[in-house]
Amino acid sequence: MARTNPLQFIQQVRAEVSKVVWPTRREVALTTVMVFIMAALTAVFFALVDLLIRSGLQGILSFFG
């Protein structure tokens, strides 16, 4: 593999960075809101599952205990 000098490396990095399509401020805001919504929905889902499992186990243990 051929080695490149630091100047060539910097030029290559700049060329690759110029190809990146950066998100707009609106896209970043919408994505952030969606992440918070999905995290909240996931938290509610697991809280309900936890409540269901806990109630089921308490019922089983009180039946046999």
Has residue 45 been placed in a domain?
Answer: yes
Report pLDDT digits (tens) over 2-59: 787 999 999 999 999 999 999 999 999 999 999 999 999 999 999 999 999 999 999 9
In a domain, 16, yes or no: no
Residue 1 has pLDDT above 90, yes or no: no
> Would residue 35 count as lying in a domain?
yes
* 3-state DSSP assignment of residue 21: coil
Type and span of the H or E element at 24: none
Please tell me the pTM assigned to this model.
0.66
User: Is residue 2, in this structure, part of any structural domain at all?
Assistant: no
Residue 64: predicted pLDDT: 86
Task: Provide the domain limits for residue 42.
Answer: 23-64
Residue 15 domain-assigned?
no
Beta strands in the chain (DSSP E): none
- Six-digit token string for 19: 């190809």
Structural domain total, the chain: 1
Question: Does 4 fall in a domain?
Answer: no
Please give the residue that has the higher pLDDT: either 65 or 34. 34
Q: Quote the tokens at residue 47.
A: 């809280």
| Residue 64, token pair as written in the block | 């046999």
